[in-house]
Amino acid sequence: MVSKPPTTEPHIERPGPAEFRDPLVRREMAKAAVWFGIGIAILGIITLGQPLLLIVGGAIFAVFLDGGARLVGRYLPIPRPWRLLLVLLLGFGFLGWVIWFAGTTIAAQFEALRAVAALGVWFLMSRTR
């Protein structure tokens, strides 16, 4: 009887660690790229947070001025620079009034709180004697 030579498995090419044609490696590289991009985006937002807020705040202020000037333009037929000046004066006047009113109100409430706290301390001290 003739014995057969031992069979060997045929050589199968498998992707190496630097092979990007394999779908599995491509998918994992895409996942890693997404995570890397998210990390860079978060780092950029943290680093550029204050300038971005300043830019957005300026844009909102410009929209406020433009909308106010257009609204005033519906009722007063005056040139745009005068309408902008009117909107600025009214806006800052309103803010000044709010600060003045809130300041006096908060001061009055603080005085009332101080009186209540003093009364509470006096009550507690009289109960412990």
Q: What is the pLDDT of residue 1?
A: 60
Q: At 15, is the pLDDT very low, low, confident or very high (cuts 50, 70, 90)?
A: low
**What percentage of the chain has pLDDT greater than the value 90?**
47
Q: Would the pTM count as exceeding 0.75?
A: no
Angle at 36 between CA 30 and CA 39, to 5 degrees: 145
Q: For 19-41, how does the pLDDT look when each residue is reduced to its tens digit (9 = 90+)? A: 777 788 789 889 999 999 999 99
Q: For 58-74, how does the pLDDT look when each residue is reduced to its tens digit (9 = 90+)? A: 999 999 999 999 999 99
**Contact in structure between 91 and 68 (CB atoms under 8 Å):** yes
CB atoms within 10 A of CB 95: 10
Q: What is the pLDDT of residue 39?
A: 96
> How far is residue 79's CA from residue 47's CA, in Å, rounded to a whole number?
42
